[in-house]
Every structure is written in C-alpha cells, then in structure tokens.
C-alpha cells in the first residue's frame, strides 16, 4: 500500500504579515482589523493616561 501524498503543483501564496502582531493577514491592507483599531487607539490611550496623571498630581499638590 502506498501512503505517500502527492505534492502540490503550485506553491501556496504567502500572505502578508501584519506589522502590529506579526501573524499572517489576508486583509487588503495587510493589517488585521483588530490590530489597526488598537494601533489607532494607542495615542488616545496615552493622552488619557497623561491627563489622568496630571489630575492626580494636581489633587495631591492641593492637599
């Protein structure tokens, strides 16, 4: 009995690699939707954290 599997005639196409997470992505832009959302939210998240720290420092200095 021959258990060998046939080799594919054409090599599989290489998907783009997501620059955010490093996994292969099949979206047209090459970035997963959830990765692009997290990438877009990062500056806003950092600004909110800085504002929160400034408010805490202001309250600590007032007391």
Which residues partner with 24 through β-bridges? 17
- Supply the pLDDT for residue 2: 66
Tens digit of pLDDT per residue, the chain (63 long)? 567 888 888 877 677 899 999 999 888 888 999 999 999 999 999 999 999 999 988 888 877
Q: Cβ of 49: how many Cβ atoms within 10 Å?
A: 10
Whether 32 contacts 25, CB under 8 Å: yes
Q: Which helix (H) or strand (E) holds 39?
A: helix 33-62
- Supply the pLDDT for residue 1: 59
- Supply the pLDDT for residue 50: 94
Rounded CA gap, 35 and 14, in Å? Answer: 20
- Supply the pLDDT for residue 5: 84
């Amino acid at each position: 009995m021959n258990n060998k599997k046939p080799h594919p005639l054409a090599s599989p196409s290489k998907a783009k690699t997501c620059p955010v997470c490093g996994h292969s992505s099949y979206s047209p832009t090459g970035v997963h939707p959830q990765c692009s959302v997290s990438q877009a939210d990062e500056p806003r998240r950092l600004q909110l954290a800085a504002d929160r720290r400034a408010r805490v420092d202001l309250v600590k200095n007032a007391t």
